Structure 1
Amino acid sequence: MAFGLKRDELRQWKMDVENGDIAFLTHYWIDSRFPGCDTVTKVGCSDIEKLALWGSHYGLLREWIHLDKCYPHFDLLGNRQKEILIAEEQWNQLHRFKLV
């Protein structure tokens, strides 16, 4: 279940993904399969090769890309989420969701 997300943020993320940009979207999320994780960051890009190359810099495997409708993306959780958001200087999302 996702929450803590504004419609305009989702719309902007979708436009960025469709335009072939590497786009970040963090929101609150509850899933019993991942205890202790209450946020997820979706890193998307419609250019699968570009997304796979970006992910490889962080040890993310191509097979982990979710081919979700028109919005291919990686899901980042836990420590890896925090580490990548810091490396990508996504300070707004880090502070907003109290990840730092």
Structure 2
Amino acid sequence: MAFGIKRQELLAWKQKIDEGEIAFLTHYWLDARFPGSKTVTKVGCHDLKRLAQWGEKYGLKREWIHHRLGGYSHFDLIGDKQKEILQKEGLFNHIWK
């Protein structure tokens, strides 16, 4: 279940994806499969090849991309890997969230 995200944040994420950028969106999230995690970061890009190459830098596999028919395909970052990648990307505001 996703929550704690403003419509403007979601629209800005989608716009960056539409422009071919690597876009990050962090929001609160609860899922019984991941009891220790309270947030998820979605990393998307319209160019799936570029997204896959970005993910390879951090050991993410191409097959982990969540493909969305309307666009907005993305990786989900959770837990320690989420924090590690956000730190390396310099996105500390996403960590503080």
TM-score range, shorter chain: over 0.9
Identity of aligned residues (%): 59
| Residue correspondence of structure 1 range 79-90 to structure 2 within 5 A | 79-90=80-91
Q: Describe the SS at the equivalent of 1:74.
A: strand
What TM-score do you get using the length of structure 2 for normalisation? 0.96
User: Who is 1:4 aligned against?
Assistant: 4
Paired with 2:93 and 2:80, the residues of 1 have a C-alpha distance of 17
Work out the number of aligned pairs and report it.
96
User: Who is 1:29 aligned against?
Assistant: 29
Query: Which blocks of at least 5 consecutive residues in structure 1 are unaligned?
Result: none
Query: Which blocks of at least 5 consecutive residues in structure 2 are unaligned?
Result: none
User: Who is 1:77 aligned against?
Assistant: 78
Paired residue type of 1:36? G
Of 86-95 and 58-67, deviating more is: 86-95
User: Who is 1:58 aligned against?
Assistant: 58
User: Who is 2:47 aligned against?
Assistant: 47
* Displaced runs of 4 or more, over 4 A: none
Paired with 2:19 and 2:73, the residues of 1 have a C-alpha distance of 12
Paired with 1:5 and 1:86, the residues of 2 have a C-alpha distance of 21
Paired with 1:45 and 1:70, the residues of 2 have a C-alpha distance of 9
Q: Describe the SS at the equivalent of 1:40.
A: strand
Deviation at 1:34, TM superposition (A): 0.9
